[in-house]
Amino acid sequence: MADHYDVLGVQPDASDADIKKAYRRLARELHPDVNPSPDAAERFKDVTHAYDVLSDPEQRRRYDAGPQESPFGGGAAGGFSDIFDAFFGGGGGGGRGNGPRSRAERGQDALLRIEVDLDEVVFGTHKDVEVDTAVVCETCNGSCCAPGTSPRTCDICGGSGHIQRQVRSLLGNVVTSAPCGTCRGYGTVIPNPCPTCQGQGRVRARRTIPVDVPAGVETGLRLQMPGQGEVGPAGGPSGDLYLEVKVRHHDVYSRDGDDLLATLEVQMTDAILGTHTTIDGLDGPVELEVRPGVQSADVLVIKDRGVTKLRGNGRGDLRVGVQVVTPTKLSHKERQLVEQLAKAHKGPGPQLARFQQGMFGKLRDRFFNF
C-alpha cells in the first residue's frame, strides 16, 4: 500500500498548508482534462485519496497511528473480551466478531396484493405480476465499483473494519473496538463508485414475476415466494416476496369454505310441476332437477362442483338455494286460470304456523345452516 505522504511528496511532519499546496500542484499536473494518459488518471485518484485522508485531522491522526494491536496478545484478548462482554454487553477489542462486515446484505421482503376472479380460484391460475423492486446493477454486477476498478483496503483500520482504543474503566485499562468511521466497518473503501448505481450495487427496475396461484385460495391469504423480493445492497441475497390474495366479487356465485353458493329463481308453475334446467357453473354447465312442489329456501346440492381444496384432495359442493318467484302482473286469462286452480285446490287460508326450532334459521341462512 502506497504511503500517503509519499504520494503527495511531503514529509510526515508536513503542515496542513504544505499538504494542500502539494495536492494543488499535483492536481494541476495530473487532472484528466490536462493529462489524458491512463497512468496520470490512476495517479490522480491516488493523490485525491491521499489528500482526503491527510487533510482531515481525525483521519490523519488515525492514519499516523496505524492499525493497533491488542496489548494483551491473541489468546488473552479473546478471554478478556468474554469478561468485558459479560459486564458491558459487548464492545471488547481483539475478540471474536471484530472482522470487517460484508457490504453484501440480504434484501428486504416485499408485499404485493393480487386480485383473482372466483372462477380462477376453483382450479388455480397462472399470473404474471409486475413489480418495481431492486435488482442487481448490470454495470458493476453488484460490486459497487466502476468497471475496471475494485475496492481499496482502508488506510485507517488496515482492512479490519474496526478501530481499537485503550480506555480506562472499573476493571482498569481495557481495549474497546468500534467500527471504523472511514470505511464504516467494511474494511475497504470504494474510490470509484459505479456511475449507474452510485456505489449501491443495485438499482430500481420493473420486472415480471410468474406466479402460480393455487386452487382454493381465499381473500387475505398470503403466498410466500422465497428469493423474489428485493436484491440486497452490493448484490446481496434477495428477500422474499409475499403476495396477499383478494378474490373479486362475483355477480352470481359466492363462497362458503370450499362450497360454492348460488340462488335459483324458479317460476311458480315450475315449482308446482317440477322441471329440469341447465345453469352456467364456474367450470362448465350444470344440470339441475327441480322436483315438483319445491319450496323457497330448499337447497339443491351438486356434489364435487365447488372449489378445489387448498389443502387436501377433492372439491367442495355446489349448493343452489331455491327462490320461488310469484308473478306480480297477470293477464285476464292467466288470472282466470289461477282462480280455477285455487278453486280446484282449495286449502286453508293464510294462518300462523306452529313454531318449529330452525324454521326461521332455514329461511334466513338457507346456505350456511344446510
Tell me the binding residues for Zn(2+).
Answer: 137, 140, 154, 157, 180, 183, 194, 197
Q: Among 342, 317, 307, which Cα is nearest to 118's?
A: 307
DSSP 8-state symbol, 31: -
Provide the annotated binding site: 137, 140, 154, 157, 180, 183, 194, 197
334 neighbors 328 (Cβ within 8 angstroms): no
Q: Exposed/middle/buried for 131, CB within 10 Å: 0-12, 13-18, 19+?
A: middle
Rounded Cα gap, residues 112 and 231, in angstroms: 16
Residue 134 β-bridge partners: 204
Q: How far apart are CA 317 and CA 126, in angstroms?
A: 24
Contact call for residues 202 and 231 (beta carbons, < 8 A): yes
Sequential DSSP letters for 285-338: EEEEEE-TT--TT-EEEETT-SPBPSSSSSB--EEEEEEEEPPS---HHHHHHH
Burial 68-88 (b: 16+ CB within 10 A, else e): bebebeeeebeebbeebeeee
Give 161's DSSP letter: S
Q: Which helix (H) or strand (E) holds 110?
A: strand 110-116
How many angstroms separate the CA atoms of 26 and 7, rounded?
A: 10
Question: What CA–CA distances, in Å, run from 35 to 8, 27, 40, 147?
Answer: 17, 10, 6, 21
For cell 390474495, the residue is 245
The DSSP secondary-structure symbol of 85 reads H
CB 135 within 8 A of CB 202: yes
